[in-house]
Structure 1
């Protein structure tokens, strides 16, 4: 089975359409959605409906912190600079769409794979996996051989040996990486809708569960149109300008 791992779509329709077209060319059998479908981008309703359709067709989806923050009980946990875009996002979504986001699980599993948005050792508190120490903490928290998370907005790959020694790899675009069965692995495919590693191309990954081969991809898309959608969305102007520039420059 070949998985398509999509994370941090962030209401970016143009990037989502480009990645979806690319993923279908890879012969995928199962879609995994790793959270943060909304906020920052100009098309939250479209992206939510796109993801809901995928779930109805059998995709697995987990909740991200921006999805979670649309609940009245949780918005106060977000930084002040995020609140204006969250408020705008909420105004664009129907009660049914908001309920769908809030009802998504924090984690999901498929065979020897475990999925979460931020981490698996404490998924409800959204701690970032910024390095080997945090990645190892998540790997020690589960018996699954393969863990997949989002949240970081940069593609990363960590591993843990049977003796507890950790390591990491820097993914290379479109280069298949066999994952040794002697190790356990935590992969972050990067952000589809808002990359932050200096490369504005959308990120996603595929994983062949039978051959244990992971492949990261960067997919060019129409960033100018995505930025235009943000600038004309009705978000507060200073915030919209900053978000549009981030899409153009990828940081």
Structure 2
């Protein structure tokens, strides 16, 4: 059994196209997409159209909420831009997405943590450029009351796979469309596979036309995104 796990596309259609081509190449039994779908300056409407045509399980992320409701704390210029690009049908689709979901009875899906789409689960990436892994007790505390062998999360754009002492797996596939402090601009997505010894995870890293994406972002009024899109070394401050 093989599941493709996508997160944090952020409106980057060239990156999404590369990922979906690779997903088709490797072959999967399902696709899940963990939120922050369209909020980005490259091609939010194109990403929404592609996603709405997929047979996949979707949840929303914090930027999806902020795009739907620009009055929420945290909503910013890129969310306003994305909302302005979406059709009424696309905006309705985004607004209807759930905060969490599951794939079958074994994989729980969330954006940040099971209870909060703005809280990072597996690292403290948003505290500067330093990413630190919390202790096992802190990670395990967030699955109390849930009984799944696998938990998939996104939000931080930092690929991580954590195996708890009881064997449960918490997996962040990284970001499809926006790389920060990773050292390469390549798109990232995850694969979860179930074998005789249980679930295992891996991250696939793919080149795509990041220069073209940077040009599109600049043409849409966001030249500051270039540093992230073409290098992958920039921090989140580069996007402001």
- State the TM-score, normalizing by the size of structure 2: 0.85
What secondary structure does 2:41 align onto?
coil
What secondary structure does 1:32 align onto?
strand
C-alpha contact (below 8 Å) 1:40/1:243 kept by paired residues: no
1:198 alignment partner, one of 180, 183, 186: 183
2:110 alignment partner, one of 109, 113, 116: 116
Gaps of 5+ in 1: 163-182
2:194 alignment partner, one of 209, 232, 237: 209
Gaps of 5+ in 2: 124-132, 235-240
Root-mean-square deviation (CA, aligned residues, Å) is 1.6
1:188-237: CA deviation from partner (whole Å, max 9, x where unpaired): 0000000212221111011123442322110011110000010011x3xx
C-alpha contact (below 8 Å) 2:39/2:67 kept by paired residues: no
Q: How does 1:20-59 map to 2 (within 5 A)?
A: 20-54=20-54, 57=55, 59=56
Residue in structure 2 matched with residue 18 of structure 1 by the alignment: 18
C-alpha contact (below 8 Å) 1:139/1:186 kept by paired residues: no
1:64 alignment partner, one of 54, 61, 64: 61
Rounded to whole Å, the distance in 1 between the matches of 2:208 and 2:145 is: 37
C-alpha contact (below 8 Å) 2:161/2:201 kept by paired residues: no
Rounded to whole Å, the distance in 2 between the matches of 1:194 and 1:75 is: 24
Residue in structure 1 matched with residue 158 of structure 2 by the alignment: 154
Rounded to whole Å, the distance in 2 between the matches of 1:71 and 1:204 is: 25
What secondary structure does 2:53 align onto?
helix
The 1:204/1:8 distance shift into structure 2, 3 A limit, reads: same
Residue in structure 2 matched with residue 126 of structure 1 by the alignment: 118
**Number of corresponding residues:** 217
C-alpha contact (below 8 Å) 1:200/1:249 kept by paired residues: yes
Residue in structure 2 matched with residue 245 of structure 1 by the alignment: 227
Structure 1 runs of 4+ with >3 Å offset? none
1:123-182: CA deviation from partner (whole Å, max 9, x where unpaired): 3x52112233453232334211100001011101112113xxxxxxxxxxxxxxxxxxxx
- State the TM-score, normalizing by the size of structure 1: 0.82
Alpha-carbon distance, 1:99 to partner: 1.3
C-alpha contact (below 8 Å) 2:35/2:59 kept by paired residues: yes
Alpha-carbon distance, 1:76 to partner: 2.8
